[in-house]
Structure 1
Amino acid sequence: MSGAPATAATRRRRFLRSPWFHAVLALILVSLVQGFFLKVYSVPSGSMEQTLSVGDRVLVNRTAYAFAEPQRGDVVVFRKPATWGPPPQHGFARTVVGWFGEVTGIGPGNTEYLVKRLVGLPGDTVECCGASGQVMVNGQAIAEPYVFEDLPFDVGSLDCTTAVSSPRCFGPIRLGDDQYLFLGDHRSNSDDSVAACRSASAGSDCAKTASRSDVVGTVGWFLYPFNKWGSDGLNAAIGGSR
């Protein structure tokens, strides 16, 4: 009988030293970190150029809004709402891989995420354009030094009052209690909240918004390419946005 406890202890030590145990433990730790604190995100399109480029790997701070509210000017990753379009269709193998990604936070998931600039907060009225072509929030023009390749606007010949309106024009859009409006920094190449509103025939419900529950977090750190590594390059890219 005296040998039984020793045998059990030996088996427990072997189990704790097993590479399989270490692999599972590492998987659980990575899953917890990506699920609750930091998530690796790959930028899928050029809609945020030149702040973020296609293929950039960034860390998303999932705790950014744990004790604070989203702020205008934040670069935000959020789940693509159903109102933004149908989800991508995947085969069985890709769906299984996506399921693993959803559970562990490692690799691609089945949920589609977007990254955009937060411009409109609940209760805001957002429109374009001001006298010089600026986006207006609650009647005030906002500074947007980050905008890349904006849509054409020419005062007196192609603005929001001319017979042929500038494609930059939209709104006014009044946001509800749980509605957030997002625009891409690459303004002329972004399927964002107001993409369907930039025409004279757009209806009053043309804007696509996201809710607070859709928001995952803010982009906080460049992982790749290595020449952008860290937060300094990202701060330079998004700084002055508010």
Structure 2
Amino acid sequence: MRTIVRSFVALILAIVVLCFLVLFIVIPYQVSQSSMAPTLSMGDRIIVNKLKVRLNMLEHGDVVVFQQNGTYHVGRIIGDPGQSVAYQSGQLELDNRPVDEPYIHRAYEATWSARELPNVESDIIPPNQYLVLNDHRSDEGDSRRYGLIDKRDMIGSALLRYFPLNQTTVNFKN
């Protein structure tokens, strides 16, 4: 009888710990679009770190899952609060300085500034807002369509790609 009770208590404890992890720390997510190719492909499975949002630790280069209009999207943070963001002849500029984008594999020949995005009034990103772009830049299901992404709409940052197994990845910044 004691063995059954101990097993039951261990099971309940494991369920409580798992619920805590999913509610507050990490969640699994399956990529449903090819907008982040070649970094992430449709069908890839990732672990999303929700703590980075809660602890205000999101930063330039993070691959994030966010929600817009009831749909989940994956993108990369290109601009943080307080930064000015622009593209000049295909070159990303943050605070008027060129920035390398090693994760882009196709030329993105564009010229625009943050103020030209939907519902954005300045080139300076306001507090708790992020400029998020897809790595596959011809797919505009990102800040170019939705405007700046509010911190409240951020689910978390990609921590680990665990499937497919032969493409396990921890660092998504290059």
Query: 1:139 offset after TM fit, Å?
Result: 1.1
2:78 and 2:86 map into 1 onto residues whose CA distance is: 11
- Residue in structure 2 matched with residue 137 of structure 1 by the alignment: 94
Tell me the C-alpha RMSD between the 2 structures.
2.5
How many residues matched?
166
- Residue in structure 1 matched with residue 111 of structure 2 by the alignment: 169
2:55 and 2:14 map into 1 onto residues whose CA distance is: 28
User: Alignment identity in percent?
Assistant: 31
SS in 1 for 2:86: strand
Higher helix share: 1
Contact residue 26 and residue 49 of structure 2 kept, 8 A: yes
SS in 1 for 2:51: coil
Deviations 1:109-143 (A, max 9, x none): xxx3222100111122212224xx21222211111
- Residue in structure 2 matched with residue 119 of structure 1 by the alignment: 78
Higher strand share: 2
Distance of aligned partners of 1:66 and 1:15 in 2 relative to their CA distance in 1, 3 Å threshold = same
Query: 1:213 offset after TM fit, Å?
Result: 2.5
Distance of aligned partners of 1:28 and 1:185 in 2 relative to their CA distance in 1, 3 Å threshold = same
Opposite residue 144 of structure 1, the aligned amino acid is E
Contact residue 150 and residue 188 of structure 1 kept, 8 A: no
1:63 and 2:51 are equivalent in the alignment? yes
1:181 and 2:169 are equivalent in the alignment? no
2:91 and 2:31 map into 1 onto residues whose CA distance is: 26
Query: 1:49 offset after TM fit, Å?
Result: 0.7
- Residue in structure 1 matched with residue 120 of structure 2 by the alignment: none
TM-score normalized by the length of structure 1: 0.60
Give 1:1-242 correspondences, 5 Å limit. Answer: 16=5, 26-78=14-66, 80-81=67-68, 86-87=69-70, 112-130=71-89, 133-151=90-108, 153=109, 168-173=110-115, 174=123, 175-195=125-145, 208-229=147-168, 233-235=169-171, 238-240=172-174
Query: 1:145 offset after TM fit, Å?
Result: 1.1
Contact residue 129 and residue 170 of structure 1 kept, 8 A: yes
The unaligned stretches of length 5 or more in structure 2 are: 116-122
SS in 1 for 2:23: helix
Deviations 1:58-104 (A, max 9, x none): 111222355453111111122x14xxxx43xxxxxxxxxxxxxxxxx
1:172 and 1:214 map into 2 onto residues whose CA distance is: 19
The unaligned stretches of length 5 or more in structure 1 are: 1-9, 88-111, 154-167, 196-206
Larger-gyration structure (1/2):
1
